[in-house]
Structure 1
Amino acid sequence: MTDTEFQALVDHTLVQVEQYIETLTDTLDLDADSSRSGNVLTLDFEDHGKMILNSQVANHELWLAARSGGFHYKHNGQAWVDTRSGSPFAEHFVQLLAGQIGQPCPALALKA
């Protein structure tokens, strides 16, 4: 994958995460703000802290910083997967988000 293809894939993923969070603010009555600056998406959950997603072009990785730690994801041609556990990003993100905000969250369906 070229750097340009990687950046397009990251952009597509960040847009979908932003849309997912917007949906949650309505369905879960969640107080959340998202802001995007280039390849960095910051999700601010008021009393529940922040989560930050950003791309690491040199490694071709998507990085997530959350209250529970930092995570790196590589794209395997099908989906983003955690470089340590092999967990799919969408499932792992929802699990981390639910833990951070203290309530269950619906599944995140990422489209290719």
Structure 2
Amino acid sequence: MGLYIGYGAKSVESVAYIQILVWPIAFFSSVFVNPATMPAWLGTLAELNPVSATASAVRELLGSSTWQTQSLAGEYALAGAIAWPLLLTLIFLPIAARRFRRGGQ
């Protein structure tokens, strides 16, 4: 996603402004707060977040205690941590390559 956005940016400053829009993705995740303590809609959104899948998978692999999950996405965090990057790569790699060949338009 970063390459796709970067190839379309008109200047370095515009990339910095776009980067600020990525921050909420980390904050709407289970990295900092247990989704069970959030309102139901926000907890579900946090568990579906790719960042949450990676954080939960790392917790699992290191033997640390994990949050109680409310959804199927939370139960299979390791699979999600592998699937999300693959899915995003399958989507954004071809369109980033196309944008690169067109000269960033």
Q: TM-score, normalised by structure 2?
A: 0.28
Specify the structure having the higher radius of gyration (Cα).
2
Q: TM-score, normalised by structure 1?
A: 0.27
Question: In proportion to residue count, which structure has more helix?
Answer: 2
Question: In proportion to residue count, which structure has more strand?
Answer: 1
Greater RCO (Cα-Cα under 8 Å, separation 6 or more)? 2
